[in-house]
Structure 1
Amino acid sequence: MGCFTVSRAITVRVLFTAHGVFSIWRLFVITNDPQNWYLLLALFGLAFETAFTLYVKRGEDWKWFCPSVFFYLACLVPTIWFLELHELNERIREHILNTTSSGGDETSRTTSSWNEMTTGIIGTSGFNSHQWIRTLEQLLLLILILGRWMLPKGKLTHDQLSQLLLVYIGTAADIVEFFEAFNEEQVKYNRTLCTVILAIWSWSVLQFTLVFTATKGRKESPAGVEVPAENCCTPDVFGIIMSIFMQDGPFLVLRMLLIFKYNVLSYTNMFFTCKNTLVCMLLTYRFVVYSTVHVGYC
């Protein structure tokens, strides 16, 4: 077991733990609910996984699945849910108070009290609760990318690891863009839509627990002619399916729902709807071509 491998494995898990504890602390500060500290139980799973990886796996991570990322998400995803739902309840409460208030002074007092509550949470930093939530969400994606980079690469080659990191960056950018739906007027006060967005987001970030880059090489015949591997269910196929069913497909369905049912015709929503449509079409085309080329070897 190399010291450098062990140090990288420990550093990444310490980073996961620190961000998890900080996020739960922010949730406690915003909601003032001590029961939220129970979310730390997921980090005990991370501690057990760390010990197992160091003493059984000798510092090397798993080939197809990353349990450390899973436990990290098991801590962060519920925390983000509670933060977003708390923010949603406050938005709805403010909206109801403003629409039912008849006097201008009363409305001004309501708005003023809301601003004081949201901007005074952290004191001198100037961050309100909405900004804190977005910061934690983006830090989650950034730490996932950095963590995958720092983790021992196992049987991955440097080229495969770089490809995986580039895929992670593109995935993270799409997920950040997906949260722009919360800014739509038809969405920000709709509890059902906000819950659906969070559910799709939770489903999409599970991609980071999977590693589909450990592809098999080509076989060579005795004459030196390269022959594709016999198994057509390659990591490339799983990667295409994962992209369609865990990201672009659900994103497209939601955005189409916003357009045709809730009449969300903003430039942002229309642009990303077209983008997800094109990506799904290209992924489907790639899957068909790949299957056609390898059909003789399945």
Structure 2
Amino acid sequence: MILVKFVRAIITRSLFILISLIGVWRVKTVKNDNMYWLLIVLYLPLVVEMIITLKRRKGKDYKWFSPAILLFLISIIPSIWILELHHQENKASDPQVLFYVPILSVQFWNFLPHMLTNVCPNDWILGLHQVLLILLILGKWLLPLGGVTRDELSQLLLIFVGTAADILEFTSETLSDIKENNHQLVYVILAVWTWSMLQFPLHLAVVTSRPQNSDEPKDGHGCCNLVFSRHSTDIWNIVESSFIQDGPFLVVRLIVMTYFDVFHQMLVFFAIKNFLVVVLNLYRLIVICQDFKPPQPSSSSTSPPV
């Protein structure tokens, strides 16, 4: 069993490094500068984390937080930033290359290097975004459990799937709306995208709420602590959605529509969707607070002594 956990931990981190390496190779190819190979240095923390985790935790991940996923994001996000900025600066001159895929396997492998270098930049970047999000979900599934139950893991993976779809839609749709020479908006969108990716290393949204116990105050004081302890999962879901995903997405879309004069049907639809999610999260938080009933003091503590 320990050997299986070791293998799963190594395979997952190897996939992380492989995808990051492909991103660095693409950056070097696009920029035509060997200095960008120095981005490989960002893999070193992931390798160190793998060694420490295998040695001290037998490959198990942590309960509240996944360092492997965070370090994977640190290793690949700079490459995506460089590719996105380069594409926006050279959008007019980038060729839209069409290619065919040979049927025979021998022809395919001979054609593969040429195919990878001649895919249009937009498809390359979109594919890298898609592979990144899929690997985050599969990687979390493959990583050995560490303090998270299988039920919580299944909930977390379902949350990741929905989150990944929203993030991919945000980046692909919003970046495609950018007009030429709007570099400030590109930086804003990429910054919000980077901020939203921080949801993946966190497990707070599926941590089981602490049940009421004898240590909780019985006199009605500390109600905020009681609410948080009993509804921590719901509260963390509200915080992540409002301040890490839908809230920032809504702000960016409003900026695109008002300041940059970009207005179309899909942009309005997703802006309304983000607004509704934020409002419903606030409504959910109000309902939790209003429906909460603090524990009543026991009769034995209020009865006068005999």
Quick check: 1:187–1:194 contact (8 Å CA) kept in 2?
Answer: no
1:270, distance to aligned residue in structure 2 (A):
0.6
Quick check: 2:250–2:271 contact (8 Å CA) kept in 1?
Answer: yes
CA RMSD of aligned residues (A): 2.4
How many percent identity over aligned positions?
A: 37
Quick check: 1:60–1:154 contact (8 Å CA) kept in 2?
Answer: yes
Give the letter for the 1:48 counterpart. V
What does 1:3-18 align with in structure 2 at a 5 Å threshold?
Answer: 3-18=3-18
Give the match for residue 34 of structure 1.
Answer: 34
Q: Is 1:249 aligned to 2:241, yes or no?
A: no
Give the match for residue 286 of structure 1.
Answer: 284
Give the match for residue 171 of structure 1.
Answer: 163
Quick check: 1:232–1:295 contact (8 Å CA) kept in 2?
Answer: no
CA shift digits 1:195-216 (9 cap, x unpaired): 1100100000011111111213
Give the match for residue 193 of structure 2.
Answer: 201
Quick check: 2:59–2:144 contact (8 Å CA) kept in 1?
Answer: yes
Distance 1:188 1:283, change over 3 A: farther
CA shift digits 1:255-289 (9 cap, x unpaired): 11112222222111011001101111111111222
Q: Could you say what secondary structure the match of 1:40 adopts?
A: helix
Q: Could you say what secondary structure the match of 2:235 adopts?
A: helix
What does 1:147-296 align with in structure 2 at a 5 Å threshold?
Answer: 147-179=139-171, 180-184=173-177, 186-212=178-204, 213-219=206-212, 230=226, 232-233=228-229, 234-294=232-292, 296=294
What does 1:56-71 align with in structure 2 at a 5 Å threshold?
Answer: 56-71=56-71
Q: Could you say what secondary structure the match of 1:209 adopts?
A: coil
In structure 2, what is the Cα distance between the partners aligned to 1:237 and 1:251? 20
In structure 1, what is the Cα distance between the partners aligned to 2:163 and 2:266? 18
In structure 2, what is the Cα distance between the partners aligned to 1:182 and 1:41? 29
In structure 1, what is the Cα distance between the partners aligned to 2:245 and 2:179? 20
What does 1:110-129 align with in structure 2 at a 5 Å threshold?
Answer: 114-115=94-95, 123-124=114-115, 127-129=119-121
Quick check: 1:27–1:82 contact (8 Å CA) kept in 2?
Answer: yes
In structure 1, what is the Cα distance between the partners aligned to 2:47 and 2:293? 44
Q: Could you say what secondary structure the match of 1:210 adopts?
A: coil
* Bigger shift: residues 284-293 or 53-62: 284-293
Distance 1:47 1:231, change over 3 A: farther
In structure 2, what is the Cα distance between the partners aligned to 1:154 and 1:295? 34
In structure 1, what is the Cα distance between the partners aligned to 2:265 and 2:69? 35
Higher radius of gyration, 1 or 2? 2
1:164, distance to aligned residue in structure 2 (A):
0.5
Give the match for residue 136 of structure 1.
Answer: 128
TM-score (norm 1): 0.83
CA shift digits 1:138-176 (9 cap, x unpaired): 111110000011111222222211110111011000011
TM-score (norm 2): 0.81
Q: Could you say what secondary structure the match of 1:216 adopts?
A: coil
CA shift digits 1:39-93 (9 cap, x unpaired): 21221100100011111112211111111111100111110000011111112xx
Q: Could you say what secondary structure the match of 1:296 adopts?
A: coil
Distance 1:294 1:152, change over 3 A: farther
- Superposition misfits of 4+ residues, deviation over 4 angstroms: none
